[in-house]
């Protein structure tokens, strides 16, 4: 990750100063008394009394074709029914129910809408009463002024789910409500307030979001302060790129102790370690999994001692090998994480490595967390907390918006069925050097649609202590 250059920062400051001078000259304004600039303040979260608009997903032209709210993706785009042996095995694993966990749009579904179906079929909710339109966020701060765009059609308002009613409806059927868990991976934003409206709106509606930030504590600090006031359990993750990989040449315990002190020394002091997860490592050498298990076991003990929320590994997509989870030190680590699910976690990356096919080689890339849960179940260990701290397609490209939202919605349904998966961060919103400006622009364009997905949809999981079966065939990915 590269920080903005001094030249970029100087140009930005000169631009802001020039703009301020021009505005004062035009309006006859004067500087603050004593020549001091006014201190900026973090804007208050919006309230539902304010009427605002934004574009929802799918676009308005598509939404008018359907007579009733439908799930993501649209029924006509549902993948073909699965006929794999895995889907057949899922029936017995789920007690013969073959439950399929789908999104629901606009409010609680009729109980018959989520009746048990064979695992080779995808059940959609029955029509529900048209919900009342509620508030929506203002345009993204990076969008051009409205007058520069000229007249535009009215955007489709977001119909916010009555999550309390939906949760009660699911509870009556032995299920629990899950929110959209797909959020953003952030570096240095084009504008510091780029995500403010998104975060404030979700927080005001009581909807948790997932946010991972690298080398930039500011968006996490804003989210943390929202969470302190509202109590909404957002999942926030910070990582510095200064020490990505430990020293493999040292004894793993000694290496962990030295590495932990280095990481604590660069922890942003404005972040609360009891609220924000610390991820210390990134895409490690999978051939050293037993050394890394010993290293991580000692680090986990230190994190518990010092009151940090800590996530181990940050394995690359498609790693580690399933058998690596069963080494002695790794099983001991998993037991410790199982005993402290709110303070210790496993960090994974899940990419398809293909821009147009999120389900390529599923579940061995996206969906690989299932291997981890399968080992935990086999050894009588609680399924560990999982943070998917990088998620997406390729390092520098995502598909066009309609297809991207279809893929994201499928992943939200998959992760929603497993409460231990706290969320996934789409790579990448922010600057990664000039060669990846296109990727940043693509993610900026998804912010409003991601907000819509989080507010007008919900997902389901079996109510604890029941757990979703680990059969990939229950969640067939979208076809190409």
Residue 362 clears pLDDT 50, i.e. is over it = yes
| Phi, then psi, of 247 in degrees rounded to 5 | -85, 105
Question: Pick from 474, 371, 350, 347: which is nearest to 413 by CA?
Answer: 474
Q: What is the pLDDT of residue 45?
A: 38
Residue 94 clears pLDDT 50, i.e. is over it = no
Residue 442 clears pLDDT 50, i.e. is over it = yes
For 258-310, how does the pLDDT look when each residue is reduced to its tens digit (9 = 90+)?
999 999 999 999 999 999 999 999 999 999 999 999 999 999 999 999 999 99
- pLDDT over 70, % of the chain: 67
Residue 92 clears pLDDT 60, i.e. is over it = no
Alpha-carbon gap, residue 227 to 221, rounded angstroms = 10
Token pair in block for residue 382: 């609680």
Mean per-residue pLDDT, 403-409 = 97
How are strands ordered across the β-sheet holding 175-178?
104-105, 457-462, 175-178
Alpha-carbon gap, residue 62 to 67, rounded angstroms = 11
Mean per-residue pLDDT, 426-441 = 88
Q: What is the chain's mean pLDDT, rounded? A: 77
Residue 281: CA count within 13 A, CB half-sphere: 29
Token pair in block for residue 53: 């608009």
Cβ density class 40-60: b for 16+ within 10 Å, e for less: eeeeebbeeeeebbbbbbbee
Residue 228 clears pLDDT 50, i.e. is over it = yes
Residue 201 clears pLDDT 50, i.e. is over it = yes
- pLDDT over 90, % of the chain: 65
Residue 439 clears pLDDT 80, i.e. is over it = yes
Per the DSSP assignment, residues forming a β-bridge with 278 are 238, 310
Mean per-residue pLDDT, 17-22 = 38
Comparing 215 with 149, the larger pLDDT belongs to 215
Q: What is the pLDDT of residue 432?
A: 84
Q: What is the pLDDT of residue 480?
A: 57
Strand ranges inside 198-249, DSSP E: 210-214, 235-239
Mean per-residue pLDDT, 192-203 = 97
Alpha-carbon gap, residue 64 to 251, rounded angstroms = 63
What predicted TM-score, i.e. pTM, was given to this entire model? 0.71
Judged by DSSP in three states, 263 sits in: helix
Under a CB-based contact definition with an 8 Å cutoff, are residues 181 and 422 in contact?
Answer: yes
């Amino acid at each position: 990750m590269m920080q903005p250059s001094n030249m970029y920062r100087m140009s930005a400051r000169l631009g802001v100063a020039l703009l301020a001078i021009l505005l004062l000259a035009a309006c006859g304004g004067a500087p603050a008394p004593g020549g001091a600039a006014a201190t900026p303040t973090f804007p208050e979260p919006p309230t539902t009394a304010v009427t605002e608009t934004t574009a929802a997903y799918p676009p308005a032209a598509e939404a008018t074709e359907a007579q009733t709210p439908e799930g993501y993706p649209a029924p006509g785009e549902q993948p073909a029914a699965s006929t794999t042996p895995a889907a057949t095995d899922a029936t017995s694993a789920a007690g013969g129910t073959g439950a399929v966990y789908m999104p629901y749009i606009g409010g609680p579904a009729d109980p018959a809408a989520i009746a048990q179906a064979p695992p080779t079929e995808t059940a959609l909710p029955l029509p529900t009463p048209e919900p009342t339109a509620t508030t929506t966020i203002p345009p993204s701060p990076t969008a051009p002024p409205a007058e520069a765009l000229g007249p535009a059609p009215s955007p489709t308002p977001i119909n916010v789910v009555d999550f309390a009613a939906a949760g009660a409806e699911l509870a009556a059927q032995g299920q629990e409500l899950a929110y959209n868990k797909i959020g953003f991976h952030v570096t240095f934003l084009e504008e510091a307030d780029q995500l403010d409206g998104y975060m404030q709106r979700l927080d005001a509606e009581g909807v948790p979001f997932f946010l991972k930030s690298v080398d930039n504590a500011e968006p996490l600090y804003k989210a943390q302060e929202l969470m302190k006031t509202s109590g909404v359990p957002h999942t926030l993750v910070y990582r510095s790129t200064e020490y990505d990989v430990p020293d493999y040449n040292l004894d793993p315990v000694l290496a962990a102790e030295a590495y932990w002190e280095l990481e604590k020394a660069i922890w942003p002091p404005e972040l609360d370690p009891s609220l924000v997860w610390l991820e210390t490592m990134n895409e490690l050498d999978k051939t050293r999994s037993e050394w890394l298990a010993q290293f991580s076991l000692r680090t986990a003990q230190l994190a518990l001692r010092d009151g940090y929320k800590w996530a181990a590994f940050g394995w690359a997509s498609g790693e580690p090998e399933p058998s690596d989870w069963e080494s002695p030190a790794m099983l001991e680590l998993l037991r410790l994480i199982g005993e402290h699910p709110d303070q210790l976690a496993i960090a994974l990356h899940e990419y398809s490595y293909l821009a147009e096919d999120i389900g390529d080689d599923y579940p061995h890339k996206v969906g690989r967390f299932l291997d981890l849960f399968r080992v935990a179940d086999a050894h009588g260990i609680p399924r560990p907390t999982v943070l998917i701290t990088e998620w997406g397609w390729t390092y520098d490209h995502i598909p066009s918006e309609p297809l991207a939202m279809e893929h994201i919605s499928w992943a939200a349904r998959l992760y929603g069925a497993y409460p231990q998966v706290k969320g996934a961060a789409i790579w990448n919103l922010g600057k990664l050097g000039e060669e990846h400006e296109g990727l940043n622009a693509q993610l900026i364009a998804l912010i409003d649609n991601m907000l819509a997905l989080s507010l007008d949809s919900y997902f389901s999981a079996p109510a604890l202590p029941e757990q979703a079966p680990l059969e990939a065939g229950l969640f067939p990915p979208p076809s190409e």
